[in-house]
A and B are shown apart, each in its own frame.
Chain A
């Protein structure tokens, strides 16, 4: 059996600090994998390393059987891996629609010359791109503000726009870094729904999230990091009852965890 994505013993050092310590994990097609761990556990670093934003100090990374260890971000994106950022990341001076258009770089088939000459092929490509942008705008529920400049939109909208930008690449695998950070509980629930919808549309998802209720309900499988090391991996119910996890991570919200059991 082959996995969609695999990381073998990836290590990332920042000077003396070991942010990722020989971590291995895999992602299977069609699942929602939760990546959890206390602050500073190395979750964002993990995303940065697997997408090529940072080079791993050692280890190997594979996407669909292909070695992508040294691939820069624009290559991993082309191979089907998209990500959102923990901090809100959009193209501020562009409108919401233009943000998505800019993110559809990989979908555009017509080259430079057809664009300059406005060939029929280019127009057809343009029409299909427009349609794709509309679909994305509806998916992340931003169609109604498509003409507004991104800068100045409310926080919740920007978080969704960040996801819309990632969807622009037509990803196979989507990595979401704390998509619900800073959102209110209603918005968080919307998120979980969106993640499920994306999965149902065929996108495999890895999600970093702090809200245990959301994670336990949403994910098929969970990987737990602590100090850059993987300390547990399994189904939500296995993670919930894993003593190591409870001690290092769930411990501080033990009451809540037990309440869940009851």
Chain B
């Protein structure tokens, strides 16, 4: 019941936010928040559910952004079609990167994903005929029929959050389904998961495609919204940002990823006064948070609120016995 009320409250807040926050700049910040949240949720599929630590997710985010940007700018493709194409492109890229990466373990896996993302960045940088290289690619503002001038941000806002809400709904349903449990089993103990019949490699492979596709979709919204994208979008900085968003909020929980995205978009705005220092201050806070709360800022709090009263007594007793 509490969950449903919370979800409804969140939906209500999302629906009315653009009417309350009318400042154009802050409306833009909210869209960025939504885009980052989709990106973080995509990463959480691999990171939080499967325990697969991809260090190259900027490839999917940036790849989706470039595919969308090129299609719209160079080929005049409509925004909707470009979103679909970018998502498919990043999904395929996910499968391609998964093939070598999933054969690696631990640090080698991390290096492979990082390396693959660098390859994508180098390609984008070095084919200026297509991507404009380091100059950056401008992307036209899509035309939204029937929307008066000046309201594009609001349209972006609702598109972004509709996708985010849908993704979260499906992911939450997935998380509590038998297949979802098996995902988490892989994160917890891969060998044991395999021993109960979970096809570990195949699941990781598919997850790479889904996660890549969703990250690509986030990037595809980002490109025309921001208006200009550069190969920086494919740099390890963005991969690291994605991972930090997931880690800070608490991985494997979905809401943790959204919280992380909130920290990286809305909250950083409050540090604007500190100008150049703001990323340093912010990074400091993050490092401290991760050291003292390795399971994320939100997870312990939510667990505390959720702990069953009385019913869990048996569990508590046994834990004491173990001590």
Q: Which A positions have Cβ atoms within 8 angstroms of B?
A: 51, 53, 72-74, 77-78, 82-83, 85, 89-94, 98, 101-108, 110-112, 115-116, 118, 122, 126, 129, 144-145, 147-149, 152-155, 157, 165-166, 168-169
Contact = CB atoms under 8 A, between A and B. Distances in A.
B182 A102 contact: yes
Q: Which of B180, B193, B197, B314 has the most CB of A within 10 A?
A: B197
B126 interface: no
Interface string B52-82: 0000000000000000000000000000000
Interface of B: 170, 173-174, 177-182, 184-185, 188-189, 191-200, 308, 311-312, 314-316, 318-319, 321-322
19 contacts: A74-B194, A85-B192, A91-B192, A92-B188, A94-B181, A94-B185, A101-B178, A102-B181, A102-B188, A103-B185, A105-B181, A106-B196, A106-B197, A115-B178, A115-B180, A116-B170, A145-B318, A147-B312, A148-B315
Contacts of B199: 74
Given A90-B192, A91-B193, 7 more contacts: A92-B189, A102-B181, A105-B196, A111-B179, A126-B178, A147-B311, A157-B318
Contacts of B192: 85, 89-91, 165
A77 B196 contact: yes
Contacts of B178: 101, 104-105, 107-108, 110, 115, 126, 129
Contacts of B196: 77, 82, 102-103, 105-106, 165-166, 168-169
A153 B318 contact: yes
A55 to B, nearest CB: 14
Contacts of B322: 152-155
A85 to B, nearest CB: 7
Contacts, number: 124
A91 B319 CA distance: 16
B174 A115 contact: yes
Contact of A148 (B182, B194, B197, B312): B312
Contact of B198 (A74, A107, A153): A74
A98 to B, nearest CB: 6
A116 B180 CA distance: 11
B322 to A, nearest CB: 5
B318 A108 contact: no
Nearest to A125: B178
A67 B173 CA distance: 38
A116 B173 contact: yes
B285 to A, nearest CB: 26
Contact of B188 (A91, A104, A108, A118): A91
Contacts of B182: 102, 105
Contacts of A94: 181, 184-185, 188
A205 B181 CA distance: 27
Given A92-B188, A152-B322, A77 B179 contact: no
A149 B174 CA distance: 21
A149 B295 CA distance: 15
A74 B318 CA distance: 32
